[in-house]
Structure 1
Amino acid sequence: MICPEELVAIVNALCVAIAKNLTIDELEILSTVLEQASYTFRAIVIQRINIKNKTDKYKDSEEIDRKYR
């Protein structure tokens, strides 16, 4: 697994490399698209966490039921 500092450095280098070949308008559009993608990814992560938590609670309650039947 990559450490957070390395991830930031990689993303920064990638952004600089991409930005070299784009106009201001293209950068603005790309920035808007990536910002929207970020919100969408966050929503997906939150929903997956919620589903996992509910599934884990359900599994825990099933295990408790089996132990005390």
Structure 2
Amino acid sequence: MKFGDLSEYFVNGVIMDVTNAEQAKIAENSGAVSVMALYRVPADIRKKGGVARTASVKKIEEIIKAVNIPV
């Protein structure tokens, strides 16, 4: 995919924060154009404190296999 094509892909779309493959599937089925794999979603981070961290490599691979949108 060319950079120009990719930039057009994200226009008028939503990128959802997810923590697992099930959430990623729901996001994809709901029309998300991409998902961002995180250890915890921002709402949980605000509740419990801490910082945003990317999900583990294993979790990211599971999410990539589960959906057909960019992760």
- TM superposition score normalised by structure 1: 0.27
Which structure has the greater CA radius of gyration? 1
**Structure with greater proportional helix content:** 1
Q: Determine which structure has greater relative contact order: mean sequence separation of CA pairs < 8 Å that are 6+ residues apart, divided by chain length.
A: 2
**Structure with greater proportional strand content:** 2
